[in-house]
Structure 1
Amino acid sequence: MAGIDWEDPFCGEGNNCFRIGTDDDGNAYIAVAGQEDTPLKDSRDALRALILEIKAGKADHLL
């Protein structure tokens, strides 16, 4: 996908790798590593909120 600046992949236990990216229009993207052509898209603020909630342990029940 053109115009997205992807970060290096983040891989957790079991090689569940994902990538986070942003574009110049203020959008944020998250995708499974290797499947960057089909990312989820939202605002940077929404992605920031998601990451903060995950770091706070509010998604541990999903793991």
Structure 2
Amino acid sequence: MSGISWEAPFCQDASNCFRLGTDADGNGYIAVSGQEDRYLTDSLEALRTLITDIKAGKADHLL
């Protein structure tokens, strides 16, 4: 999709790469690297909260 500015891939290892993106309308995007046409989207605030919570360990129980 045009209009999304994707960041460089974030990779845990060679097979687990994700990309974060934003657009001019204030939306945030997450996609598997190489599959940017299949993304999740929400507001930048929701994306910021998700990343902050993950960094704080609130998703550790999923591992």
The answer to whether the superposition gives a TM-score over 0.5 is yes
Instruction: Provide the C-alpha distance between the structure 2 equivalents of 1:23 and 1:57, rounded to a whole number of angstroms.
Output: 27
Instruction: Provide the C-alpha distance between the structure 2 equivalents of 1:13 and 1:7, rounded to a whole number of angstroms.
Output: 17
RMSD: 1.1
SS in 2 for 1:41: strand
- 1:62 Cα deviation from its structure 2 partner: 1.2
Instruction: Provide the C-alpha distance between the structure 2 equivalents of 1:10 and 1:62, rounded to a whole number of angstroms.
Output: 19
One-letter amino acid matched to 1:54: I
Q: TM-score, normalised by structure 1?
A: 0.94
Paired residues for 1:17-56 under 5 Å: 17-56=17-56
Structure having the larger proportion of residues in helix: 1
Q: TM-score, normalised by structure 2?
A: 0.94
In the TM superposition, structure 1's runs of 4+ consecutive aligned residues that sit over 6 Å from their partners are none
